[in-house]
Amino acid sequence: MKKLWKYVILIIILAASAAAVFFAYDSVLNNVREKYSPNTNLEKYFSDEYTDLVVNFHKVEYEKPVRIINGEILVRYEVIKQFIDPYIYYDEARYKVIITTKDRVVNMTEDSLVAELNKKDLHLDTASQRHDGYLYVPVSPFLYMWNISVKYLEQNDIVIIEFLRNFDHTATVNIADAQLRKGPSIKEAVYVSNVPMDQVLYVNRVLGDWTYLMTSEGVAGYIETKYLDIKVTSKQPVVVRYEQKKLYLPEYVVLSWHYVHSSSVTYVPYYADVNVLSPTFFTVIDEKGNIASSASMKYMENARKRGYTVWPLINNVFAKKGQISEVLADSEARRHVIDQILTYAYIYKFDGINIDFENLYLSDKDNLTQFMRELVPLAHQMNLAVSIDVGVPGGSEAYSRCYDHEELGKVADYVMVMTYDQYWSAHETGGSQAQLSWVEENVGKTLKLIEPDKLVLGIPAYTRLWKTDSEGKVTLDKTLTADQVVKLVEEKQLTPVWEEERDGYISGQYYIEYIEDGELYRAWIEDDASAREKAALAAKYNLRGVCIWMMSQTNKTVWEAILEGFNADVNQVISD
């Protein structure tokens, strides 16, 4: 009997072990199936509620991204800005859409069939318009401007937009049972099951074992690369033909600003080494964008006799900080400023324009860039070079961070970086206008944002004389020209000392100080020695040139030093 129980117990143990082994095997098998078995669930790609949009292989997930009206395709403004043209601009107050390219400016008002292309009427078949609170813009008039193709697949109710290329990567399935999936994994849901072997697929990119592509019906997803035969098909490149305007851009720039406060000022100083003159002719004086002018025919006649290329400066009233902000934020005010500039340019036969808007808000940054995008194509149409003055990167909001250095560098022909006012006129301790290594440091920062062949280095010609009273308070006593510094040194019988370093920067300039009536006077001199050192930085970094603020503060010795440092003259270009 005892033996029988032993056999029963043994059988129970064996059965339990077998059951455990079976359940373990089944669990492992299920895990294997779960890990390696492909997902066969189908997921719907297109919406049933509205027309879908695919832009460059990517389905746009915006609600109601596109509309079809009388056969015209209109795309939501937000979609265009994100996927097609990041520079498209909308003025909410004026209900106006503005599109800019290198050579064109389009203005469209909502619900109007008459737009404007480079200040000429452009008749539209369908106007930009609102539906369900969204703004839609017709795309067919702007296919070449955006370099895109557009088609509507009525059977799927989908619009496909692609950027034009000179070639296509296409593929066909070489094995039956290929699945187009939502992501690069067999565990992702299936968009298209059993992709036909004879269907042409358009390849976006190959990601190792997976390829991201789109069917001719507009469904974009992933297929395992091993299922595909991929080939490259060349296409005839699309060429946008337009008349190229002749635009004179100097090979190198040695520019000086010339203070002209009134149209009665007609005398033009002559420095043989200067090839571009920028008289301070224009100021935006109010929120509507009206411009005050000090230009005169006699001045321009004298400038021509001197052989100067003339790029007049247009600035704002620096003391009225918010005034230019209102102008830049209003498309009509911007347009008014541009119209006046171009009218004056036509009357006086300017060669270019220099924009100098300063003391701005950080919120003005994008609007200033938009102003330039609207100005440059129209100025180029009149053969005008366009330059803009900017502060060094990373400084104050009002004189530095208010500029989008990188975007302005793309739009403008030249960018003048104002590498001076290191210690500005109201500074609490006083100091140099521009220490040498401070200038070089900021040239380096700027070159990370702007190409050297567009960058022009700013050099100060003025010297600030600082006064420290008996209580230690520092104020600006006066600003001196190069000749006035020489006179001061002679009158006070001073011996300028070459300052190698101060406050962690290489100075690269002479320093003077003296005491008078118990008060300390100090100055860091901008003369031929300091100008030569700074100009040499423009040559060292292959910049397009130098610009000097300003002509009335310099003298012949300073100009000779600048050209010596820059190593260029009016008969020799940088590339030589």
Residue range 175-191, pLDDT digits in tens:
888 999 999 999 999 99
In a domain, 382, yes or no: yes
Number of domains in the chain: 3
Domain end: 161, 194, 210, which one? Answer: 161
| pLDDT tens per residue, range 134-146 | 999 999 999 999 9
Q: Are residues 366 and 456 in the same domain?
A: yes
Q: Are residues 303 and 407 in the same domain?
A: yes
Q: Are residues 390 and 538 in the same domain?
A: yes
> How far is it between the farthest Cα atoms of the chain?
135
Q: Would you state the structure tokens that stand for residue 31, as one six-digit string?
A: 């895990």
Sheet of strand 519-525: strand arrangement? 474-480, 463-468, 519-525, 505-516, 497-502
Chain mean pLDDT for the chain: 90
Distance in angstroms (rounded) separating the CA atoms of residues 388 and 101? 18
SS3 track for 520-533: EEEEEECCHHHHHH
Distance in angstroms (rounded) separating the CA atoms of residues 333 and 327? 5
Q: Are residues 359 and 439 in the same domain?
A: yes
Distance in angstroms (rounded) separating the CA atoms of residues 208 and 218? 23
In a domain, 2, yes or no: no
Domain end: 161, 187, 218, which one? Answer: 161
Least confident of 21-30, 229-238, 321-330: 21-30
In a domain, 422, yes or no: yes
Confidence check: pLDDT of 7 > 80: no
Q: Are residues 155 and 56 in the same domain?
A: yes
Q: Would you state the structure tokens that stand for residue 32, as one six-digit string?
A: 């294997």
What CATH number is given to the structural domain containing 506?
A: 3.20.20.80
Provide the H-helix boundaries in 307-404. Answer: 321-329, 331-348, 365-381
Sign of CA dihedral 453, 455, 460, 461: positive
Domain end: 183, 201, 234, which one? Answer: 234
Give every CB contact of residue 313 below 8 A, 6+ residues apart in sequence. Answer: 257, 278, 279, 280, 281, 282, 354, 355, 356
Q: Are residues 178 and 320 in the same domain?
A: no
Q: Are residues 177 and 157 in the same domain?
A: no
Q: Are residues 194 and 281 in the same domain?
A: no
* pLDDT of 8: 59
Q: Would you state the structure tokens that stand for residue 266, as one six-digit string?
A: 């007609």
| pLDDT tens per residue, range 320-361 | 989 999 999 999 999 999 999 999 999 999 999 999 999 999
Q: Are residues 169 and 266 in the same domain?
A: no
Nearest to 350 by CA among 263, 247, 262, 267: 247
Confidence check: pLDDT of 21 > 60: no
* pLDDT of 235: 56
Residue 302 corresponds to which amino acid?
N
* pLDDT of 240: 41
Nearest to 47 by CA among 158, 133, 132, 152: 158
Write out the residue range of the structural domain in which residue 213 sits: 165-234
